[in-house]
Amino acid sequence: MRRNRTRVIRVDLSTRETTSERVPRDWRRDFVGGKGIGARYLYEELSPGTDPTGPENLLAFLVGPLAGFLPGETRYAAVTKSPLTGGFLDSYAGGDFAVRLAGSLDDCIGLLVTGTADRPVRIEVEGGRARVKPTDAWGDDAAETAERFPDAGVACVGPAGEREAAYATIASDGGDHHAGRGGAGAVMGAKRLKAVVARDPPPAVPDDLAARRDRDAETYGRRPTGEWQAAGETIETVDYADEVGILAAEGWTETGFDGVDDIGVEAAAERAAGREAVSAGRDGDGREGAESGPAGVPGGFRIDTPDGEVIPRGAAPITLGAGLGIDDFDRVAELCGVCDRLGLDVIGAGSAVAWA
């Protein structure tokens, strides 16, 4: 697998045409990859009056030059003009889709998607090429969409994105991961783009980077941040926010929450069916290059709910728990699962409900 990413793939959904072009050398030098390259394309190609949900808006799926090779270098960036703010939007997600996208793009930095399809479609990426295909998955939630492609990485919109909700997410890995803030899912849904499917495996890790990856992962696991993640992942933030007096509760009418012990890290640990499998470049099945985190540092808590397994992140107990005055972690996890499947940002959804 090549390390130098020099091209982008353009996809015009209005015509279903795909083309490849080289990214200018000075852009790659100055902006490297990911959101930097995305910001330059938006600056060059969008006008101040561009409608975020119109066909002229650009939705980019981008990776960096080391994507899939090192711990922390396993995310993709969704870059577009936000329908929520009207400004620049860069939102990120990790997991299996991100590293499979890195592998499927080959020597490309990303996809640049414009136009609007006349009916729902998906984009399949494989071997540095993209194809636009019709889909009958419109109406499916994030988990149902991912189940259609068991041997690929999938990023999709759920019903919230299809309806262009301003805080809709782009959900990947069946809703376990989200490019969550700013409404990228609304842009994707407005284009009638149901999913991006990455067909190839993650990029093979070169020997020199594999050694570096393992050293970095071991070091991280021994440092306070690694110990903190191992203990409670991001759910630890709800306990911390309450401890230092910055936990907003009851629709921002209170600071601090009496039920914090019932929605914090101990409550999550008691209910967890297990932890999300995370290793330095290998997923739970041992595939090289397929995961995001340091070896020996577990990921999020997997919680069983009536509708299936959910991995609540730190924002869920803050906005769907304390923010709504709910002191029942099972209920918080259930609400988080609803948001995950619909493709709704838990921060935006929780805040909107709290103010309603």
- Number of structural domains in the chain: 2
Q: What is the pLDDT of residue 233?
A: 74
Indicate if 191 and 269 belong to the same structural domain.
no
Q: Same domain, yes or no, for 68 and 18?
A: yes
Owning domain of residue 295: 227-355
Give residue-wise pLDDT tens across range 251-309. 999 999 999 999 998 998 888 888 776 543 433 333 343 344 444 456 778 888 888 88
Which domain CATH number covers 182? 3.60.9.10
Least Cα distance to 340 among 188, 158, 186 occurs for 158
**Tell me: the pLDDT tens digits for 101-120?**
999 999 999 999 999 999 99
* Res 356: pLDDT: 81
Residue 242 and residue 170 share a domain = no
- Nearest C-alpha neighbor of 259 from the set 204, 303, 302, 322: 322
User: Looking at residue 341, which CATH number applies to its domain?
Assistant: 1.10.569.10
Is the same domain home to 99 and 143?
Answer: yes
Q: Are residues 108 and 153 in the same domain?
A: yes
Asked if the structure places residue 333 within a domain, the reply is yes
Using CA atoms, how far residue 154 sits from 95, 181, 230, in Å, is: 10, 19, 27
Q: Is residue 215 in a domain? A: no
Task: Give the separation between CA 88 and CA 83, rounded to whole angstroms.
Answer: 10
* 187 shares its domain with 232: no
Beta carbons of 54 and 188 less than 8 angstroms apart: no
Quote the pLDDT of residue 298.
65
The percent of residues in the chain predicted with pLDDT above 90, rounded, is 69
Report the 10 Å Cβ neighbour count for 276: 19
Please indicate, yes or no, whether residues 192 and 243 belong to a single structural domain of this protein: no
What is d(CA 92, CA 75) in angstroms, rounded to the nearest whole number? 6
Q: Does 243 share its domain with 190?
A: no
Answer yes or no: is 207 within a domain: no
Structural domain includes residue 26: yes
Which pLDDT does position 142 carry in this prediction?
98
Q: Is residue 217 part of a domain?
A: no
* One domain for residues 188 and 266: no
Distance CA 171, CA 72 (A): 19
| Positions in the chain short of pLDDT 50 | 1, 279-296
